Amino acid sequence: MNTSRRDWRTRLTSAALASLICMIAAALLLTATPAHACELCMPYPQVTNADQVVGSGTAVFARENPARPFSYVVLETFKGRYDGSAIPLFLDSTTARALQLYPALQVILVQNGPGGTWRALGMAGREYQSVMRQVAQWDKSSKTPAERAVFFATYLRHEDRRLAELAFLEVARAPYATLRDLKTRVVRDDIYRIVNDLFHVEWHGLYILMLGMSDRPDDIAFVRGKLKTAAKYGLTINLGAYATALIEMTGADGVTQLTEEYFVEPARSNAELLEIVKALSVQGTGGAVELRSAIVEAYGRLLAHHPELAGNVANDLSDWKVVRFVPRLREILNAGVGLDEASHFAIAMYLSSADQGGSSKAVFTRCGGLR
C-alpha cells in the first residue's frame, strides 16, 4: 500500500514537473527578443564597461603605485566614495608597461559596494575617461538602449580603439529602429572600410545595417552582389544583415527576391533559411512595418516548402495577429515531422492564442511523453 501510494505520488510529481517544463519553455519562446538586442549585429549580448560603471557603487581611475610596483594607486574617484584602503588587485606587467609608455592612460576600477570586490575594466585614454565620467551620472533606468546608442554613436570611429569598441557594443544592441535613425552619424567611407576589413568581421553586421539606409545605386548593387555570392555558395556569415539591408533598400522587391532565392528552394540549409527569417522578422517588427503584409506572404511560402521551420515564424504571426495560417500550422503540428520541442511549443501557443485554447491540450499531450 505504501509502495503504491509512493509510486502514485511519483507519477503525479513527474506529470506536474513535465507540465511545468512545458509552460516555462512556452513562456520563454513567447517572450519577445529584448528591444536592446540587435541579433543581426552581435551573436550574443555583452556586458559593457558602461554597464559595469552604471552598476557599480564606486568607480575610480588608477595607475601603478610607484611605492608598490604592480599595485594600484587611485588618482580620481569619479563615482561614489573611495575609502582610501588598498585595492587588492594585481597590476600585470603588460598594463604596467603601457602606463609607463602613455602617461595619459589610466585604469578603470569599479567596486560593487562598500567592502565589495574590485574589478579592473581596462585602460582608458583622456576621451574614454571623459565618457566614463558622463556615464557615471546615469543609473540603470536613466537611459534607454536607444538613448545610449545615440550617445555612443559619435564614437564608433574614434581613434581610440577601446572607446570605438565600447561604442560598437552599445550601438549594436540598440533597437533596429534606432539604427535606422543613425544613418547620418557614420560616414559612408567608414562603413565600407569596416565592411571590407577582414580583421573586424565581428563588427560587420552593424555597419551592413547602416549601409542599408543608403539609396545610392552603387550601394544597392554592393549589397545585391554580396547576397548573390552568399546564395551561390550557401554562405551564412552576415547573411541576415545583408538581407535586412536589401529589404531596407528595395522594399517589397527585396522580400520577393529573398523568398524566391531561399524559401522556395528545397535544397537550402536551415541555417540559411533562419538568417532570412531573422531579417524578415527584424523588418516586420521594428523596421519597415509597412512591408508586413509582404513578409507574411513570404512566411506563407516558407510554411509551404519548409514546414519544419514553422516554429521560427509562429511568434511573429501571433504578435502580428495573423490568423490565416491556423489551418496550415495545425496541420504541421499534428504531423509533427521535423519539429523539435521548441517549435512544437511555439506553434501550439500560436494556435492557442488564435482559437482560444484550441490546441492547449496538444501542448501537454506532447509533453506527456516525458512522464
For the sheet containing 58-64, what is the strand order? 72-79, 58-64, 106-111, 118-124
Higher pLDDT, 20 or 174: 174
> Whole-angstrom Cα distance, residue 300 to residue 294?
10
**Confidence class of residue 173 from pLDDT cuts 50, 70 and 90?**
confident
Q: Across the chain, what does the average pLDDT equal? A: 86
Q: Is the pLDDT of residue 248 over 80?
A: yes
Of 61, 118, 124, 64, which Cα lies nearest the Cα of 91?
A: 64
Name the percent of the chain lying above pLDDT 70: 83
Query: What is the distance between the alpha carbons of residues 53 and 101, in angstroms, rounded to a whole number?
Result: 26
pLDDT of residue 183: 61
Residue-wise pLDDT tens digits, 28-52: 444 444 333 367 776 655 899 999 9
Higher-scoring residue by pLDDT: 252, 337: 252
Q: Do residues 29 and 344 touch, judged by C-beta distance below 8 A?
A: no
Q: Looking at the predicted structure, is the pLDDT value of residue 103 above 80?
A: yes
Q: Which residue, chain included where needed, has cell 565600407? A: 192
Tell me: the pLDDT tens digits for 313-327? 999 999 999 999 999
- What's residue 180's pLDDT? 86
**Domain boundaries defined on the chain:** 36-43+141-211, 49-138
The confidence score (pLDDT) of residue 184 equals 55
Torsion on CA atoms 31, 36, 39, 41, rounded to nearest 10: 180
3-state DSSP assignment of residue 79: strand
Q: pLDDT tens across 72-99, in order?
A: 999 999 999 999 999 999 999 999 999 9
Unique residue bearing C-alpha cell 504541421: 332
The pLDDT value recorded for residue 367 is 39
pLDDT of residue 18: 43
